[in-house]
């Protein structure tokens, strides 16, 4: 199966050229600008200047603080839930699985304004607390609000990774430890925890990066003394030439890559869970009544918190006025009417940009998966690595990189400036969502046993015919799931979107939500648009799970040697 043809090489080169032009060059431009002295030389002066501005030092510390605490709180929520589902006989497992998906369906920046109304200084919870006990909790004050919102949004990453890691531990691992006399806390700390650690680290590092790079949530909560908002503000208010914005970008990139590389290194070194697969999962233990009570209590509390932005945004979208009251006092459908009157253009834009970007992603993803897994093209792994780099690139950085690299570049046939056209959204979304589509395509192709392709070749189908008649149909579920994942994550992308929106007629929905949320009067329509986005994402997530589920068991020879 490992042969290489000129056609394969040509496709690989074309993909590489695309990635270089729209990923490597823009990021490189950002990095170069941060170190350039204006006369073509190298300088650290911009970094020195950065360190001398007290707001920058504060922002840097704040970003670390917020990301660190979010990881800590997310861990507190996720670890007990993961352990409960995997190791105990427990009817609430379906609830926990729901918990794992619900927050991801609601983009953090959408939920943020609803959270203000529920947990803010004059929000529902504090109004009740003040009435009953005369106290208030500063849950949404400044950085607290960012930590609170991000924790509720991102803890599923730890929950999902850790649950998978725990479920992967072969029961014989624990049983042999028990057989040798280990139990309880010692069994957990010496066997279970070390074996599941790679899963936890992978999830936690992802949470750290996402929070550290996030632009939308702090902006919606009006918190600007963090790194990503500062980068955005410098570039938009002072100008595209301001070097401090680029310095911040470099810091974001360095931290993202370091966190991701660190987690990979760790997982690679410590990933023994795969040593003996195929055995049964550890038998689930029974909970004592007291433990059951605690477990359900914990789940109920988390579920309540997780659902609060969903409920909040729903209430907000139907409320006429909602301030200084526990719940809205009058309900209306007017906001939805407003949205459908004013914002159909934005909804259409979202479908256009994200649909094209996702289509692009699955085509490139399928091609890369095939080249990496099925050909002997020298350097083919490079494509995979290059795409994975996109995963570590903060949207702010790529957005600023696009503005800098492509300013002044005119589209052919009088299409105007690239940075002022809708194409820039498609490109930006496609590049940043490509890793998701690629993972999905890779997983799908790995499910296809190479002998299925060899059988086709043996019966007279050449390579291209084999790809068309056997490979792509068998990958269909994975490709569709990749398309949907790319589409929905791009639909609620906010960092790049804020930076790249040059005029309102080009704006997608996510920008619309952000824009509405800026004013008190716009909150209602913003929430309505948010509900539409959430429904879109929820339906997409459901479909993508369906596609994957429909694809896997259909492959009888997939698992055999």
Residue ranges binding other proteins (CB under 8 A)? 1, 3, 449, 451-452, 454-462, 465, 469-470, 473-474, 476, 553-557, 560-561
Smallest distance from other proteins to CB 561, Å: 7
Smallest distance from other proteins to CB 450, Å: 9
DSSP 375-429: ---TTHHHHHHHHHHHHTS-HHHHHHHHHHHHTTPBPTTT--BGGGSTHHHHHHH
Strand partners, 285: 88
C-alpha span between 33 and 20 (Å, rounded) = 18
Smallest distance from other proteins to CB 444, Å: 12
Smallest distance from other proteins to CB 462, Å: 5
Pick the closer one to other proteins by CB: 201 or 470: 470
Smallest distance from other proteins to CB 470, Å: 6
Neighbours of 408 (CB within 10 A): 8
Question: What are the Cα distances from residue 530, in Å, to 71, 154, 301, 445, 463?
Answer: 26, 18, 24, 35, 46
Pick the closer one to other proteins by CB: 215 or 474: 474
Smallest distance from other proteins to CB 469, Å: 7
C-alpha span between 526 and 220 (Å, rounded) = 12
C-alpha span between 204 and 160 (Å, rounded) = 11
Pick the closer one to other proteins by CB: 326 or 452: 452
C-alpha span between 83 and 267 (Å, rounded) = 20
C-alpha span between 286 and 87 (Å, rounded) = 9
Which tokens go with 340?
A: 């459908």
Smallest distance from other proteins to CB 168, Å: 24
Smallest distance from other proteins to CB 1, Å: 7
Pick the closer one to other proteins by CB: 443 or 452: 452
Going by the DSSP 8-state scheme, the letter that residue 504 receives in this structure is: G
C-alpha span between 526 and 521 (Å, rounded) = 9
Pick the closer one to other proteins by CB: 283 or 450: 450
What angle in degrees, to the nearest 10, is found between the helix axes of 523-551 and 472-491?
A: 160
Q: Are 357 and 429 in contact (CB under 8 A)?
A: yes
Smallest distance from other proteins to CB 540, Å: 24
Going by the DSSP 8-state scheme, the letter that residue 470 receives in this structure is: I
Pick the closer one to other proteins by CB: 1 or 409: 1
Pick the closer one to other proteins by CB: 241 or 454: 454
Which tokens go with 180?
A: 């040798």
Pick the closer one to other proteins by CB: 146 or 474: 474
Residue 286 phi, psi (nearest 5): -90, 145
For 409, counting Cβ atoms within 10 Å of its Cβ (0-12 exposed, 13-18 middle, 19+ buried), the class is exposed
Which tokens go with 80?
A: 């007990």
Question: What are the Cα distances from residue 63, in Å, to 70, 230, 284, 359, 362?
Answer: 11, 11, 40, 35, 34
Pick the closer one to other proteins by CB: 214 or 453: 453
Pick the closer one to other proteins by CB: 236 or 555: 555
Smallest distance from other proteins to CB 373, Å: 16
Smallest distance from other proteins to CB 451, Å: 4
Q: Is 40 left (phi over 0), alpha (psi -120 to 50) or beta?
A: left
Pick the closer one to other proteins by CB: 518 or 555: 555
Q: Are 509 and 349 in contact (CB under 8 A)?
A: yes
Smallest distance from other proteins to CB 472, Å: 10
Pick the closer one to other proteins by CB: 159 or 475: 475
C-alpha span between 515 and 507 (Å, rounded) = 10
């Amino acid at each position: 199966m490992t042969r290489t043809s000129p056609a394969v090489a040509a496709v690989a080169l074309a993909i590489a050229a695309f990635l270089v032009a729209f990923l490597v060059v823009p990021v490189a431009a950002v990095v170069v600008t941060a170190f350039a002295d204006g006369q073509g030389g190298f300088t650290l002066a911009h970094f020195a200047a950065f360190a001398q501005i007290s707001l920058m030092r504060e922002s840097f510390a704040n970003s670390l603080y917020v990301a660190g605490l979010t990881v800590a709180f997310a861990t507190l929520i996720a670890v007990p839930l993961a352990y409960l589902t995997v190791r105990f006989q427990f009817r609430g497992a379906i609830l926990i699985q729901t918990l794992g998906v619900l927050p991801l369906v609601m983009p953090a920046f959408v939920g943020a304004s609803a959270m203000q109304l529920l947990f803010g200084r004059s929000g529902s919870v504090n109004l009740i607390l003040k009435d009953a006990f005369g106290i208030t909790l500063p849950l949404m004050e400044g950085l607290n609000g960012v930590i609170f919102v991000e924790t509720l949004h991102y803890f599923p990453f730890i929950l999902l990774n850790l649950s998978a890691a725990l479920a992967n531990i072969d029961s014989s691992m624990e049983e042999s430890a028990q057989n040798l006399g280990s139990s309880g806390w010692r069994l957990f700390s010496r066997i279970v925890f070390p074996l599941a650690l790679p899963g936890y680290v992978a999830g936690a590092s992802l949470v750290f990066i996402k929070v550290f790079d996030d632009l939308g949530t702090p902006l919606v909560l009006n918190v600007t003394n963090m790194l990503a908002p500062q980068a955005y503000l410098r570039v938009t208010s002072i100008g595209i030439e301001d070097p401090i914005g680029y310095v911040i970008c470099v810091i974001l990139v360095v931290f993202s890559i370091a966190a991701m590389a660190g987690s990979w290194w760790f997982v690679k070194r410590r990933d023994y869970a795969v040593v003996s697969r195929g055995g049964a999962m550890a038998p689930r233990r029974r909970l004592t009544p007291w433990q059951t009570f605690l477990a359900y209590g914990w789940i109920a509390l988390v579920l309540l918190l997780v659902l609060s932005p969903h409920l909040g945004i729903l209430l907000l979208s139907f409320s006429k006025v909602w301030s200084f009251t526990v719940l809205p006092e009058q309900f209306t459908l007017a906001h939805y009417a407003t949205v459908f009157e004013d914002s159909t253009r934005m909804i259409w834009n979202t479908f256009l940009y994200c649909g094209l970007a996702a289509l692009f992603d699955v085509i490139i993803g399928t091609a890369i998966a095939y080249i990496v897994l099925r050909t002997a093209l020298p350097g083919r792994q490079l494509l995979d690595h290059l795409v994975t780099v996109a995963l570590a690139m903060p949207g702010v950085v790529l957005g600023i990189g696009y503005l800098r690299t492509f300013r002044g570049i005119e589209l052919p046939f009088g299409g105007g400036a690239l940075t002022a056209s809708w194409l820039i959204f498609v490109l930006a979304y496609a590049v940043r969502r490509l890793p998701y589509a690629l993972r999905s395509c890779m997983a799908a192709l790995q499910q296809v046993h190479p002998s299925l392709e060899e059988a086709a070749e043996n019966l007279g189908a050449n390579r291209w015919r084999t790809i068309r008649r056997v490979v792509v149909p068998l990958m269909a579920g994975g490709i569709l799931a990749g398309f949907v994942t790319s589409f929905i994550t791009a639909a609620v992308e906010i960092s790049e979107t804020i930076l790249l929106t040059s005029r309102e007629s080009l704006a997608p929905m996510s920008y619309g939500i952000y824009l509405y949320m800026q004013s008190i009067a716009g909150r209602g329509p913003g929430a309505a648009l948010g509900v539409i986005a959430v429904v879109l994402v929820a339906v997409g997530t459901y479909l993508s799970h369906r596609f994957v589920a429909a694809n896997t068991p259909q492959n009888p020879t997939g698992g055999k040697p």
